Amino acid sequence: MIAARTAWRRRWLPEARRLRLVAIALLAVLGATGAVPWDPPRDGLQPVPPLHARVTDLTGTLSASERQALEAKLADWEARTTDQLAVLIVPTTKPEPIEQYAIRVAEAWKIGQKGKDNGAILLIAKDDKQIRLEVGYGFEGVLTDLTSRRIIAETIAPLFSKGQFAAGINAGIDRIVSVVGEGKPLPEAEPRKRAPSHGFDIGTLALILLVAVPAIGAILRRILGNVGGSVVGAGIVGGAAWLFAGSLLIAAIAAIVA
């Protein structure tokens, strides 16, 4: 029995070592590409994946070439400035709001240089349609909440809505790099300009209807008679109202009153 057990151990140990080496190699490949498998939630919360690359896609949204291109861009920026930016795409952060999950990711990943805290994480919860830019203390003066919201709303989200996820992330990275490079946050977005009103308001309309129109109508009726004066007056007043107000409805009202 002892001899049989020894022979079994001799056959099993090399096989176990081989399987362990295969597992290590597989993890290394996954880490290099950023394609980390998505573990099921534990304790009711979504897990934070390990940091193996600057771009981590747990949804299979990005192709290998897209991940590599984004990875190279972020690596180049870090080499030139020491600033760090990581991208994480997850299916969902539920039951947590994306803000709380982003804090857990930031605490686990510790993006940014020690002493500078010059790092940021672009977090995308694809199924939730949520995007969050979590920044370190070193970036808070430039990547403010307002600036982050504008980058997401104006640059990233419009491309995401068209299904262009790689392009949206790439454009977002470019704008983040630009803002950080300039060293100042984005200003408030300019309010939409209202359409010109042609200088015509309700007060002007009331003045015309109550004073000018009856006076003009009375003068024309004295000259041309009741019928002729009314017709000509309606035409003149209606045309003038349309010219100044730019509204057929207002012109029609003025013509009827005349």
Distance between CA atoms of residues 100 and 98, nearest Å = 6
At residue 122, the 3 state secondary structure works out as strand
Question: pLDDT tens track of the chain, all 258 residues?
Answer: 434 434 434 443 455 455 454 444 444 444 444 454 555 556 789 999 999 999 999 999 999 999 999 999 999 999 999 999 999 999 999 999 999 999 999 999 999 998 899 999 999 999 999 999 999 999 999 999 999 999 999 999 999 999 999 999 999 999 999 999 998 888 876 555 555 545 545 555 555 555 565 666 667 566 766 665 555 555 665 555 555 555 555 555 555 555
- Asked if 257 contacts 211 with a C-beta cutoff of 8 angstroms, the reply is no
Tokens standing for 181? 């490079």
Distance from C-alpha of 231 to C-alpha of 237, rounded to nearest angstrom: 10
Tokens of residue 104, six digits: 């857990």
